[in-house]
């Protein structure tokens, strides 16, 4: 299992997946606005979206866990 974390402090502007969705390595899961730049946070591996710990509009700190990914088995 792995997690998607905020690379920088910012605001969540879009969540592109729902809990239970299958994702592939490289898929964009969350879009984060940090200092007026949009950052696409992507899946590092294939998997299934577990719990989502953020909502659109949330302000998050750098390193905050946003999405839990479970291994695709």
Query: Can you list the positions of beta strands (E) in the chain?
Result: 2-5, 10-15, 22-23, 28-34, 37-42, 47-52, 59-60, 65-71
Q: Per residue in 15-62, pLDDT tens? A: 999 999 999 999 999 999 999 999 999 999 999 999 999 999 999 999
Say how far apart CA 55 and CA 41 lie, in whole Å. Answer: 14
**Would you say residue 13 has pLDDT above 80?**
yes
**Would you say residue 73 has pLDDT above 80?**
no
Q: pLDDT value at position 1?
A: 81
Domain 2-71 class in CATH: mainly beta
Q: pLDDT value at position 72?
A: 77
Q: pLDDT value at position 45?
A: 93
């Amino acid at each position: 299992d792995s997690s998607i974390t905020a690379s920088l402090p910012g605001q969540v502007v879009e969540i592109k997946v729902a809990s239970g969705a299958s994702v592939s390595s490289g898929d964009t899961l969350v879009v984060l606005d940090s200092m007026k730049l949009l950052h696409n946070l992507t899946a590092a591996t294939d998997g299934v979206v577990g719990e989502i710990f953020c909502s659109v509009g949330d302000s998050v700190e750098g390193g905050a866990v946003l999405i839990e990914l479970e291994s695709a088995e």
